[in-house]
Structure 1
Amino acid sequence: MTVSYFHLANQFVQEGNLGEAIAIYRKAIEDHPNVHLYQHNLGKLLVQTGASEEAIVNYDQSCKMNPKSAWYHYDYGIALVEVKQYAKSILVLQEAIALEPNIPEFYKSLGEAFWQAGQTNEAIDYLKKAIDQGFSNSSQLYQQIGNILLEQGQVEEGFYYWRKALELNSNSSEIYVQFGELLQTRNEIAEAIDVYHKAIKLNPYAYWSQYKLGTALAACGQLQEAVIAYQKAIELESGSAIVHHYLGHTLSLLQRWEEAIICYQKAAELAPNSAVVYQHWGDALMSLGRWNEAVGIYRKSVELEPHSLEVQDHLGFVLAQLGQSEEAIAAYVKALAIDPNSEVVNFHLLEVLQSSNLSVSSNKNLPEIEQCYRRIIACNPNHLEVYRKLLELQPNDLDVYLQYGQALINQHQWQDAISTYQIVIQRQPSAQAYQGLGDAWQGKAIFDQAIQAYQKALEFNSECSLIYNNLGDALAKFGQIKEASVCYRRALELAAKQHTLVV
């Protein structure tokens, strides 16, 4: 009867009917629950059907029934890895090695289990042991170790293992392409180009090798050569959207817009749901001033990827060129919803709001214009022209004057900073205004005026360590060393006090 169960199950397996084979083994276990081979074989079939969770129950039983079987433990350990029970899989695979210490496959799988568990050093150790035990000719294993070492920052040793893999599999174009891709990710572009050429020499009919060569050539600025590589890739495989796209992008960099547009059109035919293809197509049309066509293409890109800041901005720009100001504003507003601090988008929105079609003096647009200015300042606190524009709209906003004064100081425009702080002081004197005025006078090397300004600042805020420190600097430069020392000591006392309060 035992032979009958094996015979029936194997027959169903050979026919590809795993479900029936599983049913046979279930029946066998029901009739003969103590036959460990039934448990093991059922586990193997369950793994093949993707039922690894269920399989580990049978594997566990088979190991308990036959604890001396290394292969039972090995299969059990592999199933545990598949269900991500890494800690347990490590223990089971270690037991397999203890039972049969000379099987390299056991070491390899244990190394992979350690890697999955995040125990990198142990993973490398066992993968190396797999090589020592008999996998010394496995290029795949050398690649695996090389990748782990590189991820751990052990670059020299990682590349040693990769190059060993190349030696073992020197006739494979695929491994050269993989190595080239690895070199590219590490910005070793020159060597990557050499490696891709070797891959092409081994297999001149692989379009992917030509494509990857093109990307490497483009990365180091050899755009004409990259175009040739992409074109060769297309000759070998005309149905690859990514190659048409990259060729179009490289032609765009060369300002060969018409040719680029043809490539983008083909890429869009092959990958109609790629937002970035439509974006670059729109960019090429925009570069030629073909605004109407660009609008349609950008709209398609936005439809596919509504959260692209760049495309929303470009759509707004071409709409503005067509005089469709309201629609342009709507596009820019959507862009700012994605990133309200985009300086570029805020400037583009300002241009539309300030255009002849939408008068700056219009009460309708003043709030939007003001908000644009404020957002630009938030992005770039030293943008002097924007401060001036904002102050034209809000001449009584003293906070803006104070920020403007600091921006002027940052750019060493001392006299304008002095004038700005004096305006604030005339309207509403404060410690901040006098301190800024002192900084500006000190920047201009007029130290007596700086001293007076800092002293006035202390009348408004006598607990500010920075004012005392800056006053000390001015006094020291003015030759009043004793007075400067007093200020420095007071600055240190206040700074220590403030630190204690914070702690």
Structure 2
Amino acid sequence: MPRIIVCLVLFAMPLSLAFSQATTSETEKVRQLIQTGKYVEAEALGKVQVAKTPNDPEANYQLGRAIFYQDKFAEALPIFEKVASLLPTFAGAPKFIGDCHFGLGRFDQAERAYAKAMELDPKAPEYVLDRAKALMKLGKPSDAEAGFRKSLDLDPNYIPAMFAYTNFLADDGRYREAEGLLTKALALDAKSAYGWSVMGDVLRKQKSYTRSEDAYYQALDLDPKRLRALDGLSKLFMAQELFKDAEDVTRKLIEADPNGLPYYLRLANLIDELRRYPESEAIYQKLIKDHPKYADPYVDYGVSLWRQEKNKEAEEQFKAGIAVDPKRAWFHYTYGNFLRQSKRLKEARSAFEEALKLEPNYKEAKDRLDMVKLEIG
């Protein structure tokens, strides 16, 4: 489960206005440990403090945070629910209840919890933003966009909302709007490696390649192992057919994330483009051996073999990939192209039909199917 990113500062201070009991030195120590990222130590001390004062809302709250920041969402959830019962007017409790549900993939319950936090503190933009993100997960983009806008109405300079809304706009293909909002966000926080990475993506999708490259390098100057920047820069060089540059960046990407299987596959694809087939073959074969349920390497290896006119071996890989994941329209489309070039037109027709069955709006598959039908006569 991806880590839930929340603002440590916002909920880190002793909540003297919310909690009626004075903050004890032990609870303050728990808070400080959390602030410095020492969550395991904070959890151990927090449990001792809660055992001493089981109905102290802040002691429970800080314990919940210590557990939450270790991504132990199911364990943290009942603690925050207890805080909510002890202190019904404190918006931070339903906020973290929502975060726990979000981390567990229960987006409907997360949305309801965030709505409760908004009810308790209607002027806090972060709760509106949290709810908007939950609405996106629930497949309600119109409601989510209204939430992003409302969050920015409450605080026009709220950078997390700017970044979240930028991603929404970019995913919707509204790149100009995304670029404008992101430019404003980066004017407020020019040291955001994340923000520059997103800017690189937005500009790349507009084919503004020079500016995109500059944005990615801005991000990497701030954080040399920023995955989104390395990933985007690799894709940028691929789009320009600068395969050696893309290879170099992809190797850095693998160094930053050694467990990212798609990056190894991309590296093999790039080495293929450079016609260094023995090297790419070694990567494909290792991926297939180590991860037999990962279908993509079979098909990409098939394409590599097809390029080398090793058609028998290529077909074996296409069939193996489809057997592992028969629901991938692109696999059937690629196999159909192979069959068509091999003059096996009826089999190619069946492959393109299967691709369209899985993905009815697959334009390339429809075009190829029409061509094959004409060729069959």
**Structure 1: gaps (5+ residues):** 1-9, 29-37, 53-78, 98-102, 355-368, 383-406, 418-503
Which of 187, 190, 195 in structure 1 is aligned with 2:176? 190
Q: Aligned residue for 2:275?
A: 289
Q: In the aligned structure 2, how far is the partner of 1:84 from the partner of 1:13? A: 15
Does 2:219 match 1:233?
Answer: yes
Q: Would you say 1:319 and 2:317 are equivalent positions?
A: no
Q: Which residue of 1 aligns with 2:166?
A: 180
Structure 2 equivalent of residue 208 of structure 1:
194
2:235 to 234, 239, 249: 249
Q: What is residue 35 of structure 2 aligned with on the other side?
A: none
| Corresponding position: 1:129 with 2:119 | yes
Structure 1 residues 325 and 268: CA distance shift in structure 2, 3 A? same
Tell me the amino acid that sits aligned with residue 296 of structure 1.
A
Shift of 1:239: 1.8
Structure 1's 15 and 268: CA in aligned 2 closer, same or farther, altered over 3 A? closer
* CA drift at 1:21: 8.5
TM alignment of 1:236-385, pairs within 5 A: 236-303=222-289, 305-322=291-308, 327-339=313-325, 342-345=332-335, 347-348=337-338, 375-380=347-352
Q: For structure 2, which runs of at least 5 residues remain unmatched after alignment? A: 1-23, 31-40, 68-73, 355-368
- Give the deviation of 1:140 after TM superposition: 0.8
Aligned-partner Cα distance in 2 for 1:20–1:293? 53
Give the CA RMSD over aligned residues: 5.0
Amino acid corresponding to residue 254 of structure 2 in structure 1: A
SS of the aligned residue for 2:91 comes to: helix
Larger radius of gyration: 1
TM-score w.r.t. length of structure 1: 0.49
Letter of the structure 2 residue corresponding to residue 181 of structure 1:
N
Which deviates more from structure 2 when the two are superposed, residues 288-297 or residues 227-236?
288-297
For 1:239 and 1:45, locate their aligned partners in 2 and report how far apart those are by CA, in whole Å: 36
- Aligned partners of 1:278, 1:208: CA distance in 2, in Å? 23
Task: Kindly indicate which of the two structures has a greater share of residues assigned to helix.
Answer: 1
- Relative to structure 1, is the Cα distance of residues 109 and 347 closer, same or farther in structure 2, using a 3 angstrom cutoff? closer
Question: Match of 1:226, as an amino acid?
Answer: S
Partner of 2:152: 166
Whether 1:40 and 2:55 are equivalent positions in the alignment is yes
Query: Aligned-pair distance for 1:172?
Result: 4.7
Distance in 2, Cα, partners of 1:325 & 1:380:
19
Question: How far off its partner does 1:152 sit?
Answer: 6.8
Q: Deviations over 1:339-379 (max 9, x none)?
A: 5672423553787xx7xxxxxxxxxxxxxx9xx76653433
CA contact (8 A) 1:104 1:129 kept: no
Partners of 1:42 and 1:173 in 2: how far apart? 30
Opposite residue 321 of structure 2, the aligned amino acid is A
* 1:82 and 2:77 are equivalent in the alignment: yes
1:141 aligned onto 2:127:
yes
Identity of aligned residues (%): 14
Structure 1 residues 215 and 326: alpha-carbon distance in aligned structure 2, compared to 1, 3 A threshold:
same
Shift of 1:209: 0.8
Once the 2 structures are TM-superposed, how far is the Cα of residue 144 of structure 1 from its aligned partner? 3.2
Task: Check whether the contact 2:162–2:182 (CA below 8 A) recurs between aligned residues.
Answer: yes
Q: TM-score, normalised by structure 2?
A: 0.62
Deviations 1:32-59 (A, max 9, x none): xxxxxx552499559827999xxxxxxx
Kept in 1: contact 2:115–2:127 (CA 8 A): no
Contact 2:125 2:154 in 1 (8 A): yes
Q: What is the alpha-carbon distance in structure 2 between the residues aligned to residue 122 and residue 219 of structure 1?
A: 35
Superposed, which structure 2 residues align to 1:3-18 within 5 Å? Answer: none
Aligned residue pairs, count: 314
Tell me, yes or no, if the aligned pair for 1:264 and 1:277 is still in contact at 8 Å: yes
Q: Give distance in 2, aligned partners of 1:145 and 1:129.
A: 12
- Whether contact under 8 Å (1:111, 1:122) holds in the other structure is no
1:263 corresponds to which letter in structure 2?
V
How much has 1:267 moved relative to structure 2?
1.6
Per-residue CA deviation, residues 120-144 of structure 1 (Å, 9 max, x unaligned), is 997687455324xxx42x1212323
Amino acid at match of 2:180: D
Letter in 2 for 1:279: L
